Structure 1
């Protein structure tokens, strides 16, 4: 406990140098890995981000060598890119890595069971509608919670459309939704 506030200027300089090198290394890796690393988070992206931050902290505090830290950063970002590529090519991998969107509100009806599973309140749904600048709730066809947790608001559509963005939403496909609003 003798060195709780200060150990030596050499140690401070060492940590400062490692911080700069670690920061620049992570920045370069993220630039190389592309926009996906910076996209809105799904569960997988959150784990990657927390892991990168943790490794960076260990590198900055010299608890792992610079080489070990760089290797770990490289492997984490490489695995993220690999899993992203696999999820684009495989529906099974896509389902493992990403949750699927869920309908929370449809044609004036709050879908309570979906709201409960996703821990979303009516107030949050209404807030998402207001954020879109929509005052009249009757203008809303649906509100969907996306894989990254965002709430998407879908306005009423022309009844003749056959190309709805709501098609394929798990267990709540538009064609299977009762027109009278009963669930």
Structure 2
């Protein structure tokens, strides 16, 4: 039991021990990084931290890692520079993708039609690695109970599945 308590104490105690300096540095770094993120989002626009595509998602994961590194270490300047570079690159790539088909092909995944006019397309489902259970979950979330009710189900470039109901009548 004592070993368990020692392990728990080690988990909640910083490597250098608790100090006012540690708390102040952590709080100030967190505030500075928060302000940097807000400033970058305002300067580069709403799309900066959106997750429209797989590329956006990966950029956000990397940005989160940089922010965590800044908060948890003495490397705030390096992490902030890295975050700024990452945001500038994201801005450049998303701007290029908005203007050029070639850039879009590199940065974004094409949408994949999974269901068309009530028919599940097995090949695209397999290549996109979408199971029938996942498809059915998205159909239910769209208020549909049977695949025959679907006009189109599309795996979008950001990883979500859009479902369009068949016209009735």
Report TM bin, short chain. Answer: 0.7 to 0.9
Q: Which residue of 2 aligns with 1:33?
A: 44
Uncovered stretches (5+) of structure 2, i.e. residues with no partner: 1-9
Which of 93, 118, 130 is the matching residue for 1:120? 130
User: Structure 1 or 2: larger helix share?
Assistant: 2
Q: Name the CA shift for 1:116/1:137 in 2 (closer, same or farther; >3 Å).
A: closer
Q: Which residue of 2 aligns with 1:45?
A: 56
Q: Which residue of 2 aligns with 1:77?
A: 87
Q: Which residue of 2 aligns with 1:8?
A: 19
Aligned partner of residue 4 in structure 1, secondary structure:
coil
TM-score by length of 1: 0.74
Which of 102, 109, 113 is the matching residue for 1:92? 102
2: CA distance between counterparts of 1:157 and 1:39? Answer: 32
Uncovered stretches (5+) of structure 1, i.e. residues with no partner: 159-183
1: CA distance between counterparts of 2:142 and 2:72? Answer: 44
4+ residue segments displaced more than 6 Å: none
Q: Which residue of 1 aligns with 2:6?
A: none
Is the contact made by 1:18 and 1:62 (CA closer than 8 Å) also made in structure 2? no
Aligned partner of residue 128 in structure 1, secondary structure:
helix
TM-score by length of 2: 0.80
Aligned partner of residue 104 in structure 1, secondary structure:
strand
Q: Name the CA shift for 1:136/1:109 in 2 (closer, same or farther; >3 Å).
A: closer
Q: Structure 1 residue 54: deviation in Å?
A: 1.4
> Any idea what the Cα deviations from partners look like across 1:132-171, whole Å, max 9, x if unmatched?
223454332221111011111123359xxxxxxxxxxxxx
Is the contact made by 2:67 and 2:79 (CA closer than 8 Å) also made in structure 1? yes
Q: Structure 1 residue 117: deviation in Å?
A: 1.5
Q: Which residue of 2 aligns with 1:180?
A: none
Is the contact made by 1:140 and 1:154 (CA closer than 8 Å) also made in structure 2? yes
Is the contact made by 1:108 and 1:141 (CA closer than 8 Å) also made in structure 2? yes
Aligned residues: 157
- Aligned pairs for 1:123-138 (under 5 A) are 123-138=133-148
Q: Which residue of 1 aligns with 2:121?
A: 111
Is the contact made by 1:106 and 1:141 (CA closer than 8 Å) also made in structure 2? yes
Q: Structure 1 residue 62: deviation in Å?
A: 3.5
